[in-house]
């Protein structure tokens, strides 16, 4: 099931949303931006963010902008601010949709479904850090030079590249790469695969530390501006 982070300080509305959509989606509830930041550090991989704007510890718009620096996960803003300026600002900060309160929960369900359908097609081509990644052709290049990778290294790299500047836990990576057999995989296998991938991503004969180790958690793919 799709995972949704719901950031809404109105408990009645929050529970109503979960009651209405809970049969189809898994929710992580947050009432403050700080709680949402803490949720992002867990092992949950969110498919959608539902964000209120007026929150006890800050603006949901600012948090939306913050999320856009680390994730391309779709964002729907929930707010009582229905002026044209507020709506345009929300889209300018990176929101994919904007729903004004009060709203019908069936309308929210339809908008959530539409946004997830629209954004479910994962890009297969990226250019980052001087490299090009074509995951449809299973090719990684530095300039015109093809870099040979194993199937495991390709799967690992695709997870990193499609989640720039985001910490992926060791558990997330193992589950995603080795799927059914993940419970039988020695954690050392992940470390070996990461190190092999690091050694193949070289520039000017020097290894680039694009895959940062986050001790006690996992790894982060760093994208340079």
Q: What is the pLDDT of residues 108-155, one digit of tens each?
A: 999 999 888 876 655 667 888 788 888 777 889 988 889 998 878 888
Residues 76, 91 within the same domain: yes
Residue where the block lists tokens 């867990």: 42
Residues 98, 145 within the same domain: no
Residues 112, 129 within the same domain: no
Among 142, 155, 147, smallest CA distance to 190 is for 155
Q: What is the pLDDT of residue 16?
A: 94
Alpha-carbon dihedral sign for residues 137, 127, 206, 145: positive
Residues 92, 49 within the same domain: yes
In the chain, the percentage of residues whose pLDDT exceeds 90 is 30
Residues 114, 134 within the same domain: no
Residues 60, 131 within the same domain: no
Whether this prediction's pTM lies above 0.85 is answered by no
Question: Number of helices (H) and strands (E), helices first, in the chain?
Answer: 8, 16
Whole-number mean pLDDT of the chain? 84
End position of a domain, from candidates 55, 87, 119: 119
End position of a domain, from candidates 119, 143, 169: 119
End position of a domain, from candidates 74, 101, 119: 119
Alpha-carbon dihedral sign for residues 4, 37, 162, 198: negative
Query: Which stretches of the chain are DSSP H helices?
Result: 11-21, 33-40, 60-68, 84-92, 105-119, 151-161, 170-178, 187-200
Residues 53, 113 within the same domain: yes
How far, in Å, CA of 75 to CA of 195, rounded?
34
Residues 23, 106 within the same domain: yes
Residues 141, 98 within the same domain: no
CATH number of domain containing 172: 1.10.10.10
Residues 134, 115 within the same domain: no
Quick one: 200 exposed, middle or buried, by C-beta within 10 A (0-12, 13-18, 19+)? middle
Residues 135, 83 within the same domain: no
The SS3 of residue 8 is coil
The number of domains in the chain is: 2
Domain membership of residue 32 as a residue range:
2-119
Residues 139, 108 within the same domain: no
Q: What is the pLDDT of residues 163-193, one digit of tens each?
A: 888 888 888 788 777 654 444 456 688 889 9
CATH number of domain containing 102: 3.40.50.2300
């Amino acid at each position: 099931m799709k995972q949704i982070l719901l950031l809404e300080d109105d408990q009645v509305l929050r529970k109503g949303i979960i009651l209405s959509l809970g049969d189809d989606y898994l929710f992580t509830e947050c009432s403050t931006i700080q709680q949402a930041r803490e949720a992002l550090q867990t092992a949950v991989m969110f498919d959608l963010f539902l964000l209120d704007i007026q929150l006890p510890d800050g603006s949901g718009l600012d948090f939306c902008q913050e999320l856009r620096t680390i994730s391309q996960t779709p964002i729907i803003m929930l707010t009582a601010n229905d002026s044209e300026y507020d709506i345009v600002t929300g889209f300018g900060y990176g929101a994919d949709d904007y729903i004004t309160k009060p709203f019908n929960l069936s309308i929210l369900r339809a908008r959530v479904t539409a946004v997830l359908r629209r954004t479910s097609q994962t890009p297969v081509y990226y250019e980052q850090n001087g490299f090009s990644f074509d995951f449809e052709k299973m090719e990684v290049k530095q300039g015109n030079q093809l870099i040979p990778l194993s199937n495991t290294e390709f799967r690992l790299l695709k997870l990193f590249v499609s989640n720039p500047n985001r910490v992926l836990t060791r558990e997330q990576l193992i589950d995603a790469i080795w799927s059914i057999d993940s419970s039988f995989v020695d954690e050392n296998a992940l470390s070996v695969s990461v190190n092999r991938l690091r050694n193949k991503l070289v520039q000017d004969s020097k290894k680039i530390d694009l895959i940062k180790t986050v001790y006690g958690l996992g790894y982060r793919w760093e994208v340079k501006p």
